[in-house]
C-alpha cells in the first residue's frame, strides 16, 4: 500500500476517470466525490448524497476499481462508497434513508457549483431569460409558473436552471433538479420495481421542480402521463416549476397537446446566440476564472470567429491555451490561428442525421463491416464489439440520449447502450489496440468537413 493520502490518490483517479466517461456523467456522478481513507486494501469514497453513492456502487464500481488498481498497483483493492461520512457503504445508506423516510428521494439534485447568477454573462440575447430566472429565484410561485426557457445547445439554459436551484436552496427550499432523461430513467426503474407511488410522492412533496431538456420525454407515453399528473399536482399546490428545452413547446414534436398547453401557462423566454460583445465578455470571464494570461487582441480574435454557442467559444479558448502551454509561449494571433486551423470551418452543431451517418459509417469501415451489419442482430464477437464501440463513440461525440443511440443501432434498449459504454470504457484502459482504434475513428469523424461548409465553397 502506498503512503500517499487518500485524497491525493482519488484526485489522480478523477483525472483518469474524467477522460474515460462523458462530461455530463463526470459532472453528475464524480465531480463532488472525495477520497476519505485507504487502509488494508480498502479505499473509501464519500459521495454528496445517497443517490450518487448508490449509482456509483451499481454502475461504476468496476471502472473505478480498475482505475485505482492502476494508480496504487494494488490488485486487491476494494472500494466502499459512503454518504457524507455517515455510512460504511451505499447499500446501508440507501436502506437507512428509505427506512426513516418513506418519501426519501430516489434521485437528488446535483448542482454545478459555478452555475450561479454571478457567473452568468448577460447580453442582448439572454437578458430577458436572465431577468425572469432571477425573478423566479427571488419570488418562487409568485411570478411565472411554469417558467419555460428555450434555446439552442450551449447557450446557458442549464446554467440558469442550476442558478435558480442554488439560489433557492440557500433558503432551505426542497428543490429537485434533474434532466428529463434522468426523470425518464428513474420512472422506468420505479415501474420495474413497483415503486410508482413512492416516486410520485417524492415529486409531489417538492417545493420547486427544475427539469432540463424537457423535450426528451416527448413521445414516451407513460413518462408523459406521469409527468402530466405531477405537473398538475405541483401547479395546483402553487409549487414552482421551471423547464428548459431546445425549442418552444409548440415545436416539440410528439408532445401531447395537454402537456404543451400547460407548458405555455406561465412565461416562455428564449436565449439567442451571443453577439460579439457578449462573446468577448464571456472570454474575459473565463480567462479570469482560470487565472491565465491572454491579451485583448487574442480574445477579440476568438470572439469574432463564427461560433454557434458558448461551449464552442470556451473550447476554442481552451485549445489556444493548451497550444501555448505545449510550446511554452504566450498566446499570439499566429499561435491561435495554428491551434484552430483544423476546426475553423467546422460547425459543431451539425445535424443529427449527418452525425449519426458519420459515426456508423466510420465504425463499420474500421471493422470492415457494413452499416447494416452494425444495426443487425448478428452476435459474432467482431460485430458485437463494433456495435459496442459505435454506441460508445455516439455517446462521446454527440448529444443523443442512450435511448436514441439504441434505436439507431438496431433498436437496442437504453440499458444495453449504458452497459456497452461502460464495458468499452473499462476495456480501453487495459487494451491499447482498442484505444488506438477508437481514437482513429474519432479522428476520422472529426476530420470530415461539414457538408454545409463544402456547399458554401
Q: Which helix (H) or strand (E) holds 195?
A: none
**Burial class of 341 by CB neighbour count within 10 A (0 to 12, 13 to 18, 19+):** exposed
- Whichever domain contains 413, its CATH number is 1.10.1750.10
- Examine the domain organization and report whether 73 and 42 are in the same domain: yes
Mean predicted lDDT score pLDDT of the chain = 80
Residues 57 and 160 in one domain: no
Distant-in-sequence, close-in-space partners of 114: CB < 8 Å, separation ≥ 6: 289
Question: Which residues are CB-contacts of 430 (< 8 A; sequence separation ≥ 6)?
Answer: 66
In a domain, 73, yes or no: yes
Query: Which residue, of 75, 100, 125, is where some domain finishes?
Result: 100
- Following DSSP, what letter does each residue of 31-65 receive, concatenated? TT-EEEEEETTEEEEEESSHHHHHHIIIIIHHHHH
Residue where a domain terminates, one of 100, 133, 152: 100
Pick the more confident residue, 184 or 426: 184
Residue 447: which pLDDT band, with cuts at 50, 70 and 90? low
For the ranges 40-54, 56-70, 332-346, the lowest mean pLDDT is seen at 332-346
pLDDT of residue 8: 86
Which pLDDT belongs to residue 259? 92
| pLDDT score at 209 | 94
DSSP-assigned states of every residue in 304-371:
HS--SSHHHHHHHHHHHHHHHHHTTS---HHHHHHHHTTTTT--SS--HHHHHHHHHHHHHHHTT--H
Provide the pLDDT for residue 163.
92
* Residue 152 sits in the same domain as residue 211: yes
Q: Does 110 map to a domain? A: no
- Position 144 in a domain: yes
pLDDT at residue 346, as a whole number: 41
Helices (H), 205-309: 221-236, 257-263, 276-290, 296-304
The total domain count for the chain is 4
Q: Are residues 126 and 254 in the same domain?
A: yes
Indicate whether 284 and 423 sit together in one domain.
no
Q: What is the pLDDT of residues 50-93, one digit of tens each?
A: 667 777 887 788 889 888 988 888 888 989 988 764 443 434 44
Q: Give dist(CA 438, CA 278) in Å, integer.
A: 37
Residues 239 and 137 in one domain: yes
Do 128 and 209 fall into the same domain?
Answer: yes
How much is the pTM? Answer: 0.52
- The pLDDT assigned to 4 comes to 66
Is 288 a domain residue? yes
pLDDT in tens, 167-190: 888 776 789 999 998 899 888 888
Q: Which of 97-101, 242-246, 292-296 has the highest mean pLDDT?
A: 242-246
148 vs 263: CA distance, rounded Å: 7
Whether residue 424 is predicted with pLDDT greater than 50 in this model: the reply is yes
**At residue 143, does pLDDT exceed 80?**
no
pLDDT of residue 2: 44
- Examine the domain organization and report whether 288 and 246 are in the same domain: no
* Mean pLDDT in residue range 130-139: 88
H/E stretch holding 244 reads strand 240-245
Residue-wise pLDDT tens digits, 160-169: 999 999 888 8
Q: Which of 74, 100, 126 finishes a domain?
A: 100
Q: C-alpha angle with apex 24: 117 to 452, nearest 5 degrees?
A: 95
Residue 453 confidence (pLDDT): 41
Residues of the chain above pLDDT 90, percent: 17
pLDDT of 123 above 60: yes
Under the banding of pLDDT at 50, 70 and 90, the label for residue 153 is confident
Q: pLDDT per residue over 191-234, tens digit each?
A: 888 878 888 888 988 899 999 999 988 888 889 999 999 999 99
Q: Are residues 146 and 248 in the same domain?
A: yes
Residue 145 counted as domain residue: yes
Average pLDDT, stretch 379-402?
Answer: 82
In a domain, 39, yes or no: yes
**Phi, psi dihedral angles at 455 (to 5 degrees):** -65, -35
What is the reported pLDDT for 342?
60
pLDDT band at residue 24 using 50, 70 and 90 as cut-offs: low
User: Same domain, yes or no, for 204 and 220?
Assistant: yes
Identify the CA nearest to 211 among candidates 139, 127, 147. Answer: 147
Q: Are residues 251 and 309 in the same domain?
A: no
pLDDT (tens digit per residue) in 296-333: 888 888 887 756 678 788 888 888 888 887 777 788 88
Q: For residue 427, give the C-alpha cell.
A: 476495456
Q: What is the CATH number of the domain that holds 252?
A: 3.40.50.300
Rounded Cα distance between 142 and 181, Å, is 28
Q: Any idea which of 404-408, 429-433, 453-457 has the lowest mean pLDDT?
A: 453-457
Domain span at residue 318 reads: 276-340
Domain of 299, CATH number, reads: 1.10.8.60
Asked whether residue 346 is domain-assigned, the answer is: no
Q: Are 197 and 153 in contact (CB under 8 A)?
A: no
For residue 279, what is the DSSP state? H
Do 92 and 184 belong to one domain?
no
Q: What is the pLDDT of residue 109?
A: 56
User: Per the domain annotation, does 315 fall within a domain?
Assistant: yes
Q: What pLDDT, on the 0 to 100 scale, is given for residue 423?
A: 82
Amino acid at each position: 500500500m502506498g503512503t500517499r493520502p487518500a485524497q491525493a490518490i482519488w484526485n489522480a483517479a478523477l483525472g483518469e476517470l474524467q477522460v474515460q466517461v462523458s462530461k455530463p456523467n463526470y459532472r453528475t456522478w464524480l465531480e463532488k466525490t472525495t477520497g476519505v481513507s485507504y487502509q488494508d486494501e480498502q479505499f473509501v469514497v464519500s459521495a454528496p448524497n445517497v443517490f450518487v453513492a448508490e449509482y456509483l456502487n451499481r454502475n461504476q464500481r468496476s471502472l473505478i476499481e480498475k482505475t485505482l488498481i492502476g494508480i496504487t498497483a494494488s490488485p486487491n483493492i476494494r472500494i466502499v462508497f459512503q454518504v457524507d461520512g455517515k455510512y460504511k457503504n451505499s447499500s446501508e445508506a440507501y436502506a437507512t434513508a428509505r427506512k426513516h423516510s418513506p418519501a426519501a428521494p430516489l434521485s437528488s439534485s446535483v448542482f454545478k457549483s459555478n452555475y450561479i447568477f454571478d457567473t452568468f454573462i448577460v447580453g442582448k440575447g439572454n437578458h430577458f431569460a436572465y431577468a425572469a430566472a432571477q425573478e423566479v429565484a427571488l419570488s418562487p410561485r409568485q411570478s411565472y409558473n411554469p417558467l419555460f426557457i428555450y434555446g439552442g445547445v450551449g447557450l446557458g439554459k442549464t446554467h440558469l436552471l442550476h442558478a435558480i436551484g442554488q439560489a433557492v436552496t440557500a433558503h432551505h427550499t426542497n428543490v429537485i433538479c434533474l434532466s428529463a432523461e434522468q426523470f425518464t430513467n428513474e420512472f422506468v426503474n420505479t415501474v420495474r420495481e413497483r415503486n410508482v407511488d413512492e416516486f410520485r410522492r417524492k415529486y409531489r412533496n417538492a417545493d420547486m421542480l427544475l427539469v432540463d431538456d424537457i423535450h426528451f420525454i416527448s413521445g414516451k407515453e407513460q413518462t408523459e402521463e406521469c409527468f402530466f399528473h405531477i405537473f398538475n399536482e405541483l401547479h395546483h399546490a402553487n409549487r414552482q416549476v421551471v423547464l428548459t428545452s431546445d425549442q418552444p413547446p409548440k415545436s416539440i414534436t410528439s408532445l401531447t397537446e395537454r402537456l404543451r398547453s400547460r407548458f405555455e401557462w406561465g412565461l416562455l423566454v428564449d436565449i439567442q446566440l451571443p453577439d460579439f460583445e457578449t462573446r468577448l465578455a464571456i472570454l474575459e470571464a473565463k480567462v479570469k476564472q482560470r487565472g491565465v494570461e491572454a491579451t485583448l487582441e487574442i480574445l477579440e480574435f476568438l470572439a469574432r470567429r463564427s461560433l454557434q454557442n458558448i461551449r464552442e467559444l470556451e473550447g476554442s479558448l481552451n485549445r489556444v491555451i493548451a497550444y501555448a502551454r505545449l510550446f511554452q509561449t504566450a498566446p499570439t494571433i499566429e499561435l491561435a490561428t495554428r491551434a484552430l486551423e483544423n476546426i475553423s470551418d467546422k460547425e459543431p452543431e451539425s445535424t443529427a442525421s449527418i452525425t449519426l451517418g458519420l459515426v456508423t459509417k466510420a465504425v463499420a469501415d474500421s471493422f470492415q463491416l457494413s452499416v447494416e451489419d452494425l444495426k443487425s442482430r448478428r452476435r459474432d464477437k467482431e460485430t458485437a464489439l463494433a456495435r459496442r464501440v459505435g454506441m460508445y463513440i455516439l455517446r462521446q461525440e454527440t448529444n443523443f440520449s442512450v435511448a436514441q443511440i439504441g434505436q439507431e443501432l438496431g433498436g437496442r434498449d437504453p440499458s444495453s447502450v449504458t452497459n456497452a459504454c461502460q464495458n468499452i470504457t473499462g476495456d480501453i484502459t487495459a487494451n491499447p489496440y482498442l484505444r488506438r482504434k477508437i481514437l482513429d475513428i474519432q479522428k476520422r469523424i472529426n476530420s470530415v468537413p461539414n457538408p454545409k461548409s463544402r456547399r458554401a465553397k
